[in-house]
Amino acid sequence: MSPRRAKRRDQDLGFVGRFGIGEVEEWPDGEWQVRRIVGGAADKVYRCPGCDQEIRVGMAHLVSWPNWSGGEGERRHWHTACWRNRIKRGPGRSRY
């Protein structure tokens, strides 16, 4: 018989579920709700607005949207590196 595994305390981590951990991040372009998606929960192909490349099924990435009422409609899926570097992009690209 194998020992039981300890359960994570979800209250200490914020929202935890199938789609990852959610948090609010402050950036020069405003406050953003950000949720990291684990590879096992990534079951669709998305296009990253940062690099215009596909985020393939099974690839860990993140989802962000503006932290205001109704901002959920502006939800976008990003490669993690593209999200971190979006502020450094030139004016030729929008953040969406």
Tokens of 88: 């450094």
Decide if 34 contacts 24 (C-beta within 8 A). Answer: yes
Domain contains 11: no
How confident is the model over 37-72, as pLDDT tens digits? 998 888 899 999 999 999 999 999 999 999 998 888
pLDDT score at 64? 95
What is the helix (H) or strand (E) element at residue 85, kind and residue range?
helix 80-85
Domain contains 92: no
* Spatial separation of the C-alpha atoms in residues 4 and 46, rounded to whole Å: 37
For the chain, the domain total comes to: 1
Domain contains 28: yes
Please state the pTM of the whole predicted model: 0.70
Domain holding 81, by residue range, is 22-85
